[in-house]
Amino acid sequence: MSFLDKDYREIITKAVIGKGKKFTQATHSISPSHRPTSILGCWVINHLYNAKKKSEETVEVHGSYDINIWYSYNDNTKTEVVTERVNYTDIIPLAVRDDNCLNDDFDVICKVLQQPNCLECRISNQGHKVLVDIEREFLVQVVGETKVYVKVDPKGFKYDDDDEEWDFAVTEDELNEIDPDFLESSSSRSKD
């Protein structure tokens, strides 16, 4: 089939030409200023990220977040919060790819499926550091220009209003089913 045929048209459009998803678990080692006795809480905040197409097969997501650990020390007599900024790079493979892109001008759409989240926070065996297990997940889409070939119907399609007749007439049976006191009974119920 030749696409120079009069029955086909080439449409140049922006479309999703690549798609990928990646789930990551990472362990971070954090050194508080005091030797921890116990962990009282851990949370992840201030997540920032950006994504760009790195190669034909991958997208790189660069990001950072703050890990806050509330811990006790001095045999559980004092508490403190330690905050550490963590930077990361996730390389996401594009599982779905369209190699027929027209140029190298791409837009990358990155969506967080799972915000960075603390799975576990524990004191290391040596007792001086805190180990934090974090999970995160991203979905990326690469948008670029591509061609779509469409078959043209030579006869075209014409919608005719007379094709379908709608009968909105009310029948005698429908009129008999109408409750004339409906509005009165519903308004008196709403006042109660």
Q: How confident is the model at residue 98 (pLDDT cuts 50, 70, 90)?
A: confident
Q: How confident is the model at residue 161 (pLDDT cuts 50, 70, 90)?
A: low
- Is 170 found in the same domain as 76? no
What is d(CA 42, CA 96) in angstroms, rounded to the nearest whole number?
37
**Phi and psi, residue 189, nearest 5°:** -70, -35
Residue with tokens 């921890």: 36
Q: What are the residues facing 97 on neighbouring strands?
A: 18
Answer yes or no: are the C-beta atoms of 59 and 94 closer than 8 Å: yes
For the residues 175-187, what does the mean pLDDT come to?
69
What confidence score (pLDDT) does residue 151 get? 84
- Is 104 found in the same domain as 35? yes
C-alpha torsion angle, residues 100, 102, 105, 107 (rounded to 10) = -50
* Residue span of the structural domain in which 126 resides: 8-151
Short-list 105, 99, 21, 101, CA closest to 59: 21
Position 152 pLDDT exceeds 50: yes
- Is 94 found in the same domain as 13? yes
- Is 47 found in the same domain as 23? yes
Answer yes or no: are the C-beta atoms of 8 and 152 closer than 8 Å: yes
- Is 87 found in the same domain as 55? yes
What DSSP line would sit under the chain, residue for residue?
--TTSTTEEEEEEEEEEEEEEEEEEEEEEE--SS-EEEEEEEEEEEEEEEEEE-SSSEEEEEEEEEEEEEEEETTTTEEEEEEEEEEEEEEEE-SEE-S--SSS--EEEEEEEEEEEEEEEEE-TTSS-EEEEEEEEEEEEEEEEEEEEEE--TT-----GGGS----PPPHHHHHT--TTHHHHHHHHHH-
- Does some domain include residue 14? yes
| Ranges 2-16, 26-40, 82-96, 150-164: which has the least confidence | 150-164
| Ranges 77-81, 140-144, 160-164, 187-191: which has the least confidence | 187-191
What confidence score (pLDDT) does residue 55 get? 85
What confidence score (pLDDT) does residue 72 get? 95
- Does some domain include residue 136? yes
For the residues 127-145, what does the mean pLDDT come to?
93
What is d(CA 183, CA 179) in angstroms, rounded to the nearest whole number?
9
What is d(CA 124, CA 77) in angstroms, rounded to the nearest whole number?
20
For the residues 133-153, what does the mean pLDDT come to?
90
Q: What is the percent of the chain where pLDDT is above 70? A: 85
Residue of 142 and 156 predicted with greater confidence: 142
- Is 89 found in the same domain as 57? yes
What confidence score (pLDDT) does residue 100 get? 73
Token code pair at residue 91: 């390389």
- Is 106 found in the same domain as 66? yes
For the residues 118-128, what does the mean pLDDT come to?
91
Q: How confident is the model at residue 159 (pLDDT cuts 50, 70, 90)?
A: low
Residue of 10 and 131 predicted with greater confidence: 131
- Is 87 found in the same domain as 27? yes
